[in-house]
Structure 1
Amino acid sequence: MTAAPPYPQKRTCPYQPPEGYAAVEEQGPVLKVTLFDGREAWMITGFQEAREILTHPNLSSQRTHPNFPIVAPRFRSGIARNLALIAMDPPVHDTYRRFLNPHFSLRSARTMRKDIEEVVKGYVDDILDQGPPADLIPALAVPLPSLIICKHLGVPYADHDFFQEASGRVMLGTEEDSVAGGQALVDYLDRLTHDQIANPTDGLLGTLVRERVQTGEMNHDELVSIALVLLIAAHETTSSSLALGLITLLEHPDQWARLQADISGLPRAIEEILRYVATTDLVATRVAKGDIEIGGHTIKAGEGVLVSGTIANRDEANHADPHTFDIGRPDTHHLTFGFGIHQCLGQNLARLQIEIALEALITRIPTLRLAKPVSELPILGSGTVQRVLSLPVEW
C-alpha cells in the first residue's frame, strides 16, 4: 500500500503548488495524508468529490473534536479551535450567517465601490509620486484590505499596524505566536466591543450591537468572536490574493497585455487568478461525525477530512489544461472560497477590492514589471496560507 504523503508541503513559487502535490494528485481524488504530528487524515483532491463532501450532512466543523485534523502547530490554540462561524455547525452557524449575510452580500459590497476606488486611487497616486522602484506590499496589498475592513466594521484604522501584526502571527506564526497574537486581538476587540455596546457607531459592529446584542440575540463574547474572525480573514487572505494575483499576471505578460487591450475581461481574469493561485491551500478542515462513502472509499466517523482547493482547482476532469494560466478560459469555476454552507462570507468584498486595485495598476502603470525574479521573492507560510513579504516592482 502506498504511504500517505506528507501534508502540508511548502511552496517554492508563490503562485504554484508545491512540487510534491503532483504525487498527491496522482493518488487522489480521495487519499490519506500524513500531518505534521504523525496522524493521518483523509484528503479530497477531486473537484466534484470536493463539492460532494462539502455538502455532506456527516461532515463537521467542530474543531474541539479530539480527532479534528490540525494541519500546523499554530492551529492547536484554544482561540483557533473555537472561532465563530469557521468552527461551528448548524444550527448555531446558520444563525450567525443569517445575522451577517446581508452585510457582505453582493449588493452591500457594491455600495462600497466608490469608497474603495478613492482609496486605491490615493495609494496608486502615492506609488507614482514616489517613483520606481516600489514595494507593493506596504504600498497597496496590505493597507487596502486593512483600511476597508476597518471602515466596514467600525474599527479605528489608527490601530491597523497592531492588528495586521497580530493577525499575521495568528495565521502564519509559531504555536506560541498564534496564541499570543490571538489573545492580543481578543483583548483589543473586547475593549472595542464594550465601547460599541456603550455607544454604537455606524460600522458593522455598531449595527450588530443595535440589531442583535440589544435584542438579546447575541452576547458580548459572541460579538468579540465574530469580530475576530472577520478582522483576520478579511485582511489576511485578500491581501495575499491581491499580491499573488499581481505576481501571476506579471509573470504572464501575454495575459497582462490582454487586459490592457480589453479591461472588461478583468472580472473573468480574477476568477482565473483565484482558481490558479489558491492563496489558502485548504478550503476545508473537517471531521466526520458519521460514515461517508465517497470516491470508492469509506471515511469513518471520527476521522479527519481535508479538502484541497489548490489541487481540486486544477482537476483535469473539470478544467481543460488546468496547469495553464488563461484569463480567457470558459471554465474558471473554482473552490477557492469554499462550497456549501461555509462558503467564504467576504468573497464579494474581496473580489471587488482585487478588481479595483488591479484595474488601477493595469491602466495607470501599464509598464509595471517585477524588479526581482519571482524566485527571489520571500515567501512566508507553512503551506496552508501563502504570503509574500515584499513585492518590488518598477516601470
Structure 2
Amino acid sequence: MTQQAGLPLERGGCPFDPPPAQRGRAPIEPMTYPDGSAGWFVSGYHEARAIFADKRVSARADGPVDLVEAFARPIPTLVICELLGAPYERRDEFHRHTSVMFGNDVPMDDRLAATQSVVGFIAEQVEAKRANPGDDLLSDLIHADVLTAQELANIGMMLLVAGFETTRNMIALGTFALLENPEQLAKLRADPELVPNAVEELMRYLSVIHIGPIRTALEDIEIGGVTIKAGDGITFSIAVANRDPEKFPDPEVLDITRKATGQIGFGHGVHQCLGQQLARVEMRVALSELFNRFPDLRLAVPSSEIDVPENASIYGPVRLPVTWAR
C-alpha cells in the first residue's frame, strides 16, 4: 500500500495521540511526497531506530530545490513589498507581469500591457495609502504632497520592478558563480569578513544587464579623443567596462579578495542606482546566510544544464537546482 501525500493530520478525539490515519500501517511502506517524488513512510520502532543510526542516511532535501524560486526570488520581493507597503500575497501577480515586461522576445503590445498592469497595481496602493497611511515609503511620499498620483504610480512601479528583478538575478547568478568557483567559495566560507568584498567583486564580474543604460548628451562632450554631440545617444556596456584590464588586472578571473571598489554595476555619479545600498545589504545577507546554513550546498545538475536565457532584458538563471547534505 502506498502512503499518499496530503494524508490527514487530524488527531481525532485525543490531542495527545498520533493521527489515526498514520496508525495501523506496515512498519515501512512506500509513500509519495507533495512534489511527486517517491519515498518511504516509517512507523515501526525497530525500523525507525535502525534507519536513524545508519550513516548511509542523510538529511537531504526532498530531491533538488530550485534556489531561484525558494530563495533568490522571495528575499528581494519580501523586502521591496515591506518597503513600499505592498501586499506580499500578490507577489505572483507582479512576478508574472515583470517577466513579460523584461522578455525581449515578447511582443511590444504585451510588454506595454504588463507595464500598465503594474502601474495600475501601484496606483491602487497609492489610493489605499491615501485613505489609510502606513509606515512605508509610499505613505511617506504621499504625505510629502509634492508628487502627482501619476508620478507616485510611476515611481512606485520603478521601485517595485527594479527592487526585486535585478537583485533576484544577482543573488541567483552570484550563487551560481561561487558554486562554479569552489576555491573562491572556500575562501568565503573560511573568512566571512570577505562577504562585502565578495559582493563588490560579483557586481564587477557579473552583469544582469546585457547592454545599457542609455543616456543623452545635453551638450557637446569631449572624452576619449572623440566628440559626443549634444543630442547624441550614449549606450553603455557595463559588463565590458567592469572587465577593463586598465582598471581591473586579470578581469576574466573571479577573485573575491580583489579590491573591486569602483565597479560600475550600480552606475556612477549622478547616474547611480537609487537602491544600490539596499541591494548590497540583501546580497551580503543572502550569500552569507545561505552558505553558512548549507555548507555542503552544490549544484544538483551539470552547470551546462542551467538555463540562463540571453533573450531577457535582465540576465539570470531561470532555475538553479541545488542540493545539500548534513
* Structure-1-length-normalised TM-score: 0.64
Q: How far does residue 376 in structure 1 lie from its aligned partner after superposition?
A: 1.4
Residues 200 and 260 in structure 2, CA contact (< 8 A), matched pair in contact too: no
Deviation for aligned residue 1:204:
0.9
Cα separation, 1, equivalents of 2:233 and 2:167: 27
Aligned counterparts of 1:231 and 1:182: Cα–Cα separation in 2: 12
Rg bigger for which structure? Answer: 2
Partner of 2:311: 382
Aligned: 1:133 with 2:59: no
Q: 2:128 is matched by which residue type in structure 1?
A: D
Q: Which amino acid aligns with 1:359?
A: S
Pairing 1:320-339 to 2, within 5 Å after superposition: 320-339=249-268
| Residue of structure 2 equivalent to 1:160 | 91
1:372 alignment partner in structure 2: 301
Indicate the residue corresponding to 1:208 in structure 2: 141
1:189 corresponding residue in structure 2: 122
Q: Take 2:98 and 2:84, find their aligned partners in 1: how far apart are those partners?
A: 16
Between the aligned partners of 2:119 and 2:259, the Cα distance in structure 1 is 43
CA distance in 2, matches of 1:179, 1:227: 17
The aligned counterpart of 2:5 is none
Is the counterpart of residue 169 in structure 1 residue 85 in structure 2? no
- Name whichever of 285-294 and 225-234 sits farther off: 285-294
Structure 2 unaligned segments of length 5 or more: list them: 1-58
Which of 65, 71, 77 is residue 146 of structure 1 equivalent to?
77
Contact (CA 8 Å) 1:266, 1:359: kept in 2 or not?
A: yes
Provide Cα deviations, 1:204-243, integer angstroms capped at 9, x if missing partner.
Answer: 1111111x22xxx112111111100000000100000000
Cα separation, 2, equivalents of 1:142 and 1:218: 30
Structure 1 range deviating more: 373-382 or 200-209: 373-382
Q: From 257, 265, 270, give the equivalent of 2:194.
A: 265
- Amino acid aligned to 1:161: D
Relative contact order (alpha carbons < 8 A, sep ≥ 6): 1 or 2 greater?
A: 1
CA contact (8 A) 1:172 1:380 kept: no
- Compute the displacement of 1:282 (Å): 3.8
Out of 185-194 and 377-386, give the one that drifted further.
377-386
* Stretches of structure 1 lacking an aligned partner (at least 5 in a row): 1-127
Distance in 2 of aligned mates of 1:177 and 1:139: 27
Matches of 2:273 and 2:84 in 1, distance apart? Answer: 17
Q: Counterparts of 1:16-35 in structure 2 under 5 Å?
A: none
Name whichever of 264-273 and 367-376 sits farther off. Answer: 367-376
Give the letter aligned to residue 169 of structure 1: V
Which letter maps to 2:82?
K
Shift of 1:145: 0.5
> CA contact under 8 A between 1:283 and 1:338: conserved in structure 2?
no
C-alpha displacement at 1:140, in angstroms? 0.6
Do the aligned residues in 2 keep the contact of 1:172 with 1:381 (CA within 8 Å)? no
Displacement of 1:342 in angstroms is 2.2
CA 1:345–1:129: 2 relative to 1, 3 Å: farther
| Partner in structure 2 of residue 349 of structure 1 | 278
1:249 aligns with 2:178: yes
Q: Tell me the distance in 1 between the aligned counterparts of 2:112 and 2:321.
A: 32
1:301: Cα distance to partner? 2.3
CA–CA separation in structure 2 for the residues paired with 1:330 and 1:352? 18
Equivalent residue in structure 2 for 1:289, among 195, 209, 218: 218
1:317 matched to 2:317? The reply is no
Partner Cα distance (2:304, 2:121) in 1: 38
Larger mean Cα displacement after TM superposition, 379-388 or 251-260: 379-388
Q: What's the CA shift string for 1:147-174, capped at 9, x where partnerless? A: 1100111000011000111122112252
Percent sequence identity over aligned pairs: 41
> 1:330 offset after TM fit, Å?
2.5
Contact 1:370 1:392 in 2 (8 A): yes
- Equivalent-residue separation in structure 2 for 1:165 and 1:346 (angstroms): 22
Distance 2:165 2:294 in 1: 25
Q: Closer, same or farther in 2 for the Cα pair 1:204/1:129, shift >3 Å?
A: farther
Q: Deviations over 1:347-377 (max 9, x none)?
A: 1111111111111121111111111222211
Cα distance in 1 for partners of 2:90, 2:97 equals 11
**Residue correspondence of structure 1 range 213-232 to structure 2 within 5 A:** 213=145, 217-232=146-161
Which residue does 1:279 correspond to in 2? 208
Which amino acid in the other structure matches residue 305 of structure 2? E
CA–CA distance in structure 1, aligned partners of residues 272 and 103 of structure 2: 22
Shift of 1:131: 4.3
Change (3 A) 1:318 1:159: same
Correspondence for 2:9: none
Query: In structure 2, what is the equivalent of residue 198 of structure 1?
Result: 131
